[in-house]
Structure 1
Amino acid sequence: MNSIYKSNINKKYKFKNFIEGKSNKFVKTLIFQIAENLDKKYNPLFIYGPTGVGKTHLLNAIGNKIISKNNNIKVVYVNSERFVQYMVMALKNNKIDNFKKYYRSVNVLLLDDIQFFANKKRSQEEFFHTFNSLLEDKQQIILTSDKHPKALKGLKNKLISRFECGLTMFIKPPDLKTRIKIIIRKTKKNNIILSDKTAEFIAKYIKTNVREIEGALNRIIAKSNFKKSKITINFVKNVLKDIIFKDNKLITIKKIQKTIAKYYKIKINDMISKCKIKSITIPRQIAMIVAKKLTNYSLSKIGNSFGGRDHTTVLYACKKIKKLCRENYSLEEDLNKIIKKLSS
């Protein structure tokens, strides 16, 4: 039970070792500003995105930064599953008042993976009162989740409305340049020499998140050490042949078109038609951006597969969908679900 009464900040997660890229720059910059000023301008701050994009790293990084500036500030990091476990333990040991007092007396609460509160009514009720207490006392709250507040299932509406009263931000999976930076940083840390071309080759096939990148690199490094082989593109091709086969053979433009047509309940022929009805053009544009993300086809090849369109149409579609995703979280959820389905 004493483990409740600790900051629980992981000291290895710092801003200096967080790899910044186009997909996370804005969120990282904002969190850094909060750590520097702690003026509660964005309160609560709700960060969401798929697994392995750096949410936990950033939560711990802000905690470490705040403590380094002033160790009198009471900062607590806790995963929502742990919060539930601690609460149950407190109830069993007749220490629920201590539990309430502790969490309602912090200056900064960093709560990870809020989606695990789903269908846990007692825990939600307790957190609701803790949340209100902290906001009333003008203490900073930062939450993370794998989904936008409105897309969270099994959570009470009054909690969701509280989450939305501050600032909600999305972290996307790392783009190609960021993935290359991650690969180079992690191989250097392991004293592995890797050419830029080899790093780019790996990054093209490991597209979803940092954990998958780390897993692929561990395989490559282990095989290299065992065989005492230099890590070249051909060596990587052999080690990651299952991933490369999946990417090259299974995820085709036709499969993308078929999956998205089924998802939006339209005909596959609508993907290549000249129809300009919104219910057709949006799925078609989503299919184009997914093809760009999940295949190595050129923009010209992608455009040609959608009724002989050119590369500028594909670029426009990608730009349009990115803009719509910023404005409409449900479209963003649709896009993420489709990518996850095709990548699994």
Structure 2
Amino acid sequence: FEAFVSGTSNRFALAAAMGVAEKPARAFNPLFIYGDAGLGKTHLLHGIGNYVRRHYEALNVVYVSAESFTNDFIESIRTNSQFAFKQRYRTCDVLLVDDIQFLERKDGTREEFFHTFNALHDENRQIVITSDRSPKNLSASFEDRLRTRFEWGLTTDVQPPDLETRLAILRRKCEPETLPVPDDVLEYIASHVTDNIRELEGALIRVTAYASIHDVPVTMAITEEQLHHLISAEARQLTPRMILDTTAEMFGMSVDDLVGKSRSRPLVTARQISMYVFRQMTDFSYPAIGREFGGRDHTTVIHAVDKIGTLMKQRRAIFDQVTALMQLLGNGA
């Protein structure tokens, strides 16, 4: 929770998450947190998990995305290991489930989750769920018996941060940076990237990475130049196909190669850069990005995004490739 910047848009959700972490199954059970992508819901889930592991070492904490829960369930049927699956999810003390909306149209998995929910709740074990919409607004494929259970405890939302919170997030992000970032640059970024914390932080990384690679100070001129394509891209909706097609064309390969299984170095680099750009320029979650790349696990996407974010500050070639791809997409190529 220490790295989570609190503001009017998320203060109640943060307080609820901290209450659950401090008193598992004694505060709000279940806790249901909803809001658009990139606003910090997953951060709160991990904050709960880390706090419980630190202060209640005897408790078994399980974090899982709805996508991974589905994959585990399917695999348990394929390998006839349903008992192990049930042991993992029905006997934990704290279950943290991310992006529950991905269970829509997955009837068998939803049925299994219904029984998992009941088993945990009956044993007074903590459940925390996130979604991009409230229980009432989940698709009709979620039966009333499941939606009403989601509302048994506390439901809270996370809204886009206001200007003051966006500035506070950027200043917190600047703390580890050795490169000073002027206040007018922070205010420019905070004023132009308004709806998504992920994009807000990505914009700052992009500007500081450029300045670091070129060994120049961060200025307003550099900021405007580097963020032009991000701001112009907001005017149109990028689709997965646009990003995959543009990446493949830029790197001189086919989309099948890009999303395929080859581990050749040029392909891996292109794939990781494309995943990074997906994360920066769309609202896709890690599991959703993984699905676009041949059904890869969300942890593979997390690794790719973190790796490219780091390499952008170290290797000019990577920075230039990311820049070129984002400019192509921002310009409507």
Task: Kindly provide the amino acid, as one letter, of the partner of residue 72 in structure 2.
Answer: Y
The alpha carbon displacement at 1:202 in A equals 0.9
Quick one: distance in 2 between partners of 1:216 and 1:159? 39
The alpha carbon displacement at 1:234 in A equals 2.4
Task: Kindly provide the amino acid, as one letter, of the partner of residue 192 in structure 1.
Answer: L
Could you tell me which residue of structure 1 aligns to residue 207 of structure 2? 220
Quick one: distance in 1 between partners of 2:8 and 2:192? 19
Is the Cα contact below 8 Å between 1:79 and 1:111 reproduced in 2?
Answer: yes
Is the Cα contact below 8 Å between 2:33 and 2:156 reproduced in 1?
Answer: yes
Could you tell me which residue of structure 1 aligns to residue 183 of structure 2? 196
The alpha carbon displacement at 1:39 in A equals 4.6
2:167 to 180, 195, 200: 180
Is the Cα contact below 8 Å between 1:124 and 1:156 reproduced in 2?
Answer: no
The one of the two structures with greater contact order (alpha-carbon pairs below 8 A, sep at least 6) is 2
The alpha carbon displacement at 1:59 in A equals 0.5
For the pair 1:149 / 2:168, whether they are aligned, the reply is no
Could you tell me which residue of structure 2 aligns to residue 72 of structure 1? 58
Is the Cα contact below 8 Å between 1:176 and 1:203 reproduced in 2?
Answer: yes
1:24 to 10, 23, 31: 10
Question: How many residues are treated as equivalent by the alignment?
Answer: 235
**In 2 relative to 1, CA 39–95 (structure 1 residues): closer, same or farther, beyond 3 Å?**
closer
**Could you list the runs of 5+ residues in structure 2 that have no partner in the other structure?**
237-333
Quick one: distance in 2 between partners of 1:140 and 1:117? 20
Task: Kindly provide the amino acid, as one letter, of the partner of residue 121 in structure 2.
Answer: L
The alpha carbon displacement at 1:151 in A equals 1.1
Cα deviation 1:90-114 (Å, max 9, x = unaligned): 1111110121122111111100000
Could you tell me which residue of structure 1 aligns to residue 69 of structure 2? 83
Quick one: distance in 2 between partners of 1:243 and 1:86? 37
Quick one: distance in 2 between partners of 1:230 and 1:191? 11
The alpha carbon displacement at 1:85 in A equals 0.4
Task: Kindly provide the amino acid, as one letter, of the partner of residue 101 in structure 1.
Answer: Q
For the pair 1:133 / 2:119, whether they are aligned, the reply is yes
Task: Kindly provide the amino acid, as one letter, of the partner of residue 11 in structure 2.
Answer: K
Cα deviation 1:172-207 (Å, max 9, x = unaligned): 111111111111222232322112222111100011
Identity across matched positions, percent:
40
Cα deviation 1:120-144 (Å, max 9, x = unaligned): 0000000000101111111111000
Quick one: distance in 2 between partners of 1:190 and 1:170? 31
Quick one: distance in 1 between partners of 2:28 and 2:209? 44
Between stretches 140-149 and 164-173, larger displacement belongs to 164-173
Quick one: distance in 2 between partners of 1:199 and 1:235? 12
Is the Cα contact below 8 Å between 2:25 and 2:124 reproduced in 1?
Answer: no
Is the Cα contact below 8 Å between 1:109 and 1:141 reproduced in 2?
Answer: yes
Quick one: distance in 1 between partners of 2:182 and 2:9? 24
**Could you list the runs of 5+ residues in structure 1 that have no partner in the other structure?**
1-14, 252-344
Could you tell me which residue of structure 1 aligns to residue 44 of structure 2? 58
Quick one: distance in 1 between partners of 2:19 and 2:31? 12
Secondary structure at 1:240's aligned position in 2?
helix
Is the Cα contact below 8 Å between 2:96 and 2:128 reproduced in 1?
Answer: yes
The alpha carbon displacement at 1:72 in A equals 0.6
Could you tell me which residue of structure 1 aligns to residue 285 of structure 2? none
Quick one: distance in 2 between partners of 1:81 and 1:227? 41
1:124 to 107, 110, 113: 110
Task: Kindly provide the amino acid, as one letter, of the partner of residue 109 in structure 2.
Answer: S
Could you tell me which residue of structure 2 aligns to residue 236 of structure 1? 223
Is the Cα contact below 8 Å between 2:30 and 2:128 reproduced in 1?
Answer: yes
The alpha carbon displacement at 1:226 in A equals 3.1
Quick one: distance in 2 between partners of 1:19 and 1:151? 27
Task: Kindly provide the amino acid, as one letter, of the partner of residue 171 in structure 2.
Answer: I
Quick one: distance in 1 between partners of 2:169 and 2:11? 14
Secondary structure at 2:102's aligned position in 1?
helix
**In 2 relative to 1, CA 109–39 (structure 1 residues): closer, same or farther, beyond 3 Å?**
closer
Between stretches 231-240 and 56-65, larger displacement belongs to 231-240
